[in-house]
Each structure stands twice: as structure tokens, then as C-alpha cells.
Amino acid sequence: MDFIRVSSACPLTNIGDIEFNLKNIEICIDKALMKKSKLVVFPELSITSYTCGDLFEQQLLLKKTVEALKKLCDYSKNKDVLIAVGAPIVYNNCLYNCACIIFKGNILGIVPKSYIPNYEEFYEKRWFTEGLHVIDEKVDFYFQENIPFGVNLIFTCGIMKFAFEICEDLWAVIPPSSYLSLMGANILGNLSASNEIVSKSSYRRNLICSQSARCMCSYIYASSGVFESSTDLVFSGDLCISENGTLLNSNERFKRENEIITSIIDLDKLNNQRLKNVSFRDNVKTFSQKPVNIEFQFEDMDYGEFDRNVHKHPFVPDNKSEREARCKEIFSIQTAALGKRISHTNLKKAVVGISGGLDSTLAMLVVVKTFDILKIPRKNIITVTMPGFGTTDRTYNNAVSLCKNLGTEFREINIVNACLQHFKDISHDRDIHDVTYENVQARERTQIIMDIANKEGGLVIGTGDLSELALGWCTYNGDHMSMYGVNCSIPKTLVRYLVRYVADKEVSKNISDILMDVLNTPVSPELLPKDKKGEISQKTEDIVGPYELHDFFLYYFVRLNYSPQKILFLAKHTFKDEYGSDVIEKWLNVFIKRFFTQQFKRSAIPDGPKVGTVSLSPRGDWRMPSDASFQLWIDSIIED
């Protein structure tokens, strides 16, 4: 599945006490191995400690550093983990602040710090030389010769490409990690000694996440801890692991013990992002520096328990305040988009078909807000409810109440007689409740609102959402069609939260009460007759499957281009408490088949705004042949 577990570590240190420091580095390595980590990154100059000052020029300290590296190499011989440890290294009569990369008894390479801070509280140039121009050199120690030395080293194991920079490098205008990522590195480590002052930690973590997003990489950061000298500065042992802009794990700073944190990195995600991003590829082409590739091989890729946090609802933030902010922004995008279309067409009216369901409710709320912004009277919004064979009292009453309370021009047109006439015209038995029976109603409703729009000089506002487009859960040239679709890139799991946001933040109490009842109504097209109790008999999720599963499948299939096997693995892990494995596999099969076979509908959808990272617009994000075969993807699930 292309996962790897990595660790960031902060060992106990004594300034200049190399044996003590080495012992605690080894303790942290053992902890990382117990957690099945394949990489452990230590702080800057962790062999000696960072705050040695003029002791860095002491020959004894430098000699013992090399001896400690030999001991660490011996210690690592039978350990299947890549180790990045900080040490002062003498080369060509210059002292360099370095990351020594060790694997199974050997130093694979040494990376010097590119940028040496010499301002405010840092004066490293008193001892160290910048390594910015050190490329493809070799270092000899008494126990190992011809060790690669330079800033362009990449340590390669299959699709895993590791590279390293040191502290200040990240703060440069163009960090070395930017170049290293263009050379292919997808896992970046930073050995750091960053002191604490008020608010620096949050800025630093934002910097780390931003760099991991910009480079489309994983970024593992380890900084020196509280046992560094506090003569003038305090260090906190800040540890964090980021992936493509997301902070996967971080620690509580100022701990007084050996500490490691771990996370599982998704290499497939990183590599897919780079493959998709044209700017990244173009940047690679304009960058001429070649890496020094150092190959090595892990014994196995066991990452232990799969404890990576996978969101059940990837389109919906878990945090309430973040979710509300997201909903506010999306609602603003929808209204801004519709406002532009209305002002461009110079039409002063809009027509919306209202069913009492979630999607049409959200569309109407968008239209109302847009008209308020444009200072167009709400009476210019023509809301039409069109009861049919399956319309229930609950949805009907909600539709009527909502339209009237919002102050729109409300019209009711019963479609039963028109549909019965049409059944007669096409020789269809009204008692056969098949797709023809359903689609006749959907197309009749669309014909009505289209003709009203023509008559009134208005714009038909589409109500269908992203999840329905993905599954093709719409009638071609029926509810599939409109003059502008405001919900077209909003998945069903998010529609619910948008309506709730409006209920909580944008409307009066009486309208909010109606919206809450809409939220509690089962999702249904209401195209089949009601049951004996007058309730909804046709529930969408009973037919096509749970929308939360389909939205999960959609995100990982389109946004990250994952294989069905990987999507199935993640879904089984994420929804293990809600659905059985067989159920998840069943609905994934349904998703794949419907996604492929219903592309012809997406190829002909009207305009509508993109609001998130996934859109199925045939003019933008998703261009797929309508006659593509799903067999390869279905077969891969069976093989799994």
C-alpha cells in the first residue's frame, strides 16, 4: 500500500558529554524500532549537543564525535532503520554542521548545513562553514572511506527517496528541501536546534506544513530539547511530522525525557500529487542540478498497527469551528458565482424546483442570499413545488412553508395528470414502477421549470450535488439539466452541514425550524408511490448505498487517484465499526460501475462553481471518455 512509518526524536543530552548523548540516541532508536519506524530523525548536532559554543573547536570533542559515529554504526548493524543524526564534521580544514545518515553499520552519506545563521541570537559562523556549495565530495574516517558528502544527496529505497536539511535551511528564501524535492526526494528530514520565544512555535509549525505542501512531501522535524544550555536561550524539543500541508503528529514541548513521535506516511498520496501537478513537473524540467543517489534496501516494510488518521468524511472538517468557517466560505462562493451569472445575463428572475429535500433547499437558500446581495426582491425568485406519485406530506409541507417564509413567489403544479397523459402517449403501464415511470416525472418537472423560466425571463437553478453526479443518480435531461448548477461540486455529506450552517447562522428561528426538519428527512427522489402509512418508500441510500461511503470512495478515487484495493483497505479500516467488510466491498463495486457508466451525464452538465478540491466538470477537473471500461478497476477489487 506504499505506507512507511517515520519518527522524530529528541534524546536527553549533556553539553559535550558524547557518551551520555550517544546512549540516549540509542534508546530513542530502540523506541522507534519498537514502533516499526523505518526512519528516525534526531536534532541538530545531537552527538555533541547544539550549545557547545567554542568547545566545537576542541580537537578532543571532534575526535570523540567520530568515535561516537563509529559506535553508532556498530550499534545499527542489525537494525532495519535509517538514522539521521547531527554532528560536527571536519572536511578540508573547515568545520561543518552536518546530518550523518546511517544504515546497518555504515554512514551512507553526510549532508552539511547549507545556510549558517549569524544574526540575532545565532552566531554559528564563528565555528561553522556553510555547505551550500558542497556537492559530490567524499569524506574519509578511520573506520570508513569515501563517504558521500554534499547538499544534493538523496537516499533511495524503491519509491522512497529521503533527503535532509538542517534548521536554518528551512528558513531560507529557497530552502534546500525545495531543490531536493525537485530532484525526487519525497521524505524530507530536518535536524534542528530552534530556540523558543513567544509565538515562534506556531510560526515554525506553519513553516513546516507550508514547505511540505509546496514540495508535496513528508517533512519530519526534530529540534533540540530543554537540556541544551539556557545561558541565553531555551530549547523545547519541538517534534512534528507533516505531509503535504497537513500536520500528522506533534509533541508537547519542554519534556524532560527521551521522546519520539511517529506517523505513517502515505507515499502513494505524495507521488500522485506530484504526478497530477503540472507546475511541479514544469519546475523539475527547469531545474538542472543532478542528485547523488545513494541506494539502500530495507529488509521489510512492516509499519506495525495501521494507526494513521483517515477521515471518514474527507470533505467535512472534524473541528466544529473550522467546519463552520468552511461552510461560510462555500456559501459565499456559491452566492458569488450565481451573482456573476445573474448580473452577466441581466436576468432579474430565478426559477427553482423545490421538493422539500436537502439539495433543492440548499439551492434555494443560495438564490435567496444572492438576490439579497444583488438587492433584487425575493418575489423575483419563483419557487415551484411539483407533487407527484411519491410526494409525502412531510416534504410537501416543508417545501411550502420554506418558500412562503422566505418570501419567494411560490407556485404549486401537480404533475400527476401530465405524467398519466404521458404514460398513455408512450404506451407505458402506470402500474409498472420502472425507470421509465421515474424518469417521466423527473423530465416533466424539468420541462415545467424550464418553460416557466422562458416565460418569465428567468434562470433555472440546478439543485443536483456532486455525489449524485459521481453516481449518475439523476435523470438525463431531467433533474440532470438546468441553466446554472449551484450545488454541482458539493458532496452529499457536506450539503447537510451547509444547510445546518444556514439554519444556525443565517436565518430566523421559524425558518431554522423548517430547515432542521428537512435535515431529518430521509434522502429520496420520491418518484415511487408512498407506502401504506403515507411515508417515503424509496430511500436513495437503500438503492445506491450510503453516501458517506460513496463520498469517501469519490475523494480517494478522483482526488488522490488511489487504486480500488487501497480505497477498500482504507474504507475497511475507517468504517470498521459501521459496516462489515463485505458491505463496503459491495458498495465500492457499485461506485466503480456507476462512476464509469454514468460519465455520459457528467459530459453534458451545465455550468456551476467549483468549491472544493474535487470537481467533475467536463470543462475542468475531470475529462473522461463516456465509453471507458470499468473492468480493470472491478477486476482489481476481486484480485484483492
392 is in an annotated binding site: no
Of 507, 524, 514, nearest in space to 401 by CA: 514
194 is in an annotated binding site: yes
d(CA 169, CA 191): 10
Annotation says 505 is catalytic: no
d(CA 211, CA 207): 6
d(CA 414, CA 444): 10
Q: What is residue 523's DSSP assignment?
A: P
142 is in an annotated binding site: no
3-state helix, strand, coil in the chain (%, to 5): 40, 20, 40
Of 123, 132, 136, nearest in space to 51 by CA: 123
76 is in an annotated binding site: no
353 is in an annotated binding site: yes
455 is in an annotated binding site: no
530 is in an annotated binding site: no
Q: Which of 26, 44, 168, 444 is catalytic?
A: 44
d(CA 10, CA 8): 7
356 is in an annotated binding site: yes
**Amino acid, single-letter form, for residue 434:** D
229 is in an annotated binding site: no
d(CA 487, CA 222): 44
Backbone angles phi, psi at 334, to 5 degrees: -60, -45
Contact between residue 288 and residue 528 where contact means Cβ atoms under 8 Å apart: no
Q: Which of 167, 217, 327, 419 is catalytic?
A: 167
d(CA 332, CA 505): 13
**Amino acid, single-letter form, for residue 330:** I
439 is in an annotated binding site: yes
562 is in an annotated binding site: no
91 is in an annotated binding site: no
129 is in an annotated binding site: no
335 is in an annotated binding site: no
Can you tell me which residue has the cell 550523518?
100
Indicate left, alpha or beta for 45 from its phi (over 0: left) and psi (-120 to 50: alpha): left
358 is in an annotated binding site: yes
**Amino acid, single-letter form, for residue 631:** Q
Contact between residue 13 and residue 227 where contact means Cβ atoms under 8 Å apart: yes
Annotation says 593 is catalytic: no
468 is in an annotated binding site: yes
165 is in an annotated binding site: no
Contact between residue 105 and residue 82 where contact means Cβ atoms under 8 Å apart: no
* 86 Cβ contact partners less than 8 Å away, ≥ 6 residues apart: 42, 43, 44, 45, 46, 47, 50, 97, 98, 99, 100, 166, 191
476 is in an annotated binding site: yes
Q: Mind giving me the DSSP string for 301-329?
A: ----S------SSTTS-SSHHHHHHHHHH
CA distances from 187 to 271, 405, 432 (A): 11, 56, 59
Q: Which of 79, 113, 492, 566 is catalytic?
A: 113
**Amino acid, single-letter form, for residue 218:** S
Query: Is 621 exposed, middle or buried, given 0-12, 13-18 or 19+ CB atoms closer than 10 A?
Result: middle
Three-state secondary-structure class, residue 140: coil
- How many CB atoms within 10 Å of residue 360? 25
536 is in an annotated binding site: no
Annotation says 113 is catalytic: yes
Catalytic residue set? 44, 113, 167
Binding residues for deamido-NAD(+): 439, 468, 473-476, 601
Binding residues for L-glutamine: 119, 194, 200
Binding residues: 119, 194, 200, 353-360, 439, 463, 468, 473-476, 601
Binding residues for ATP: 353-360, 463
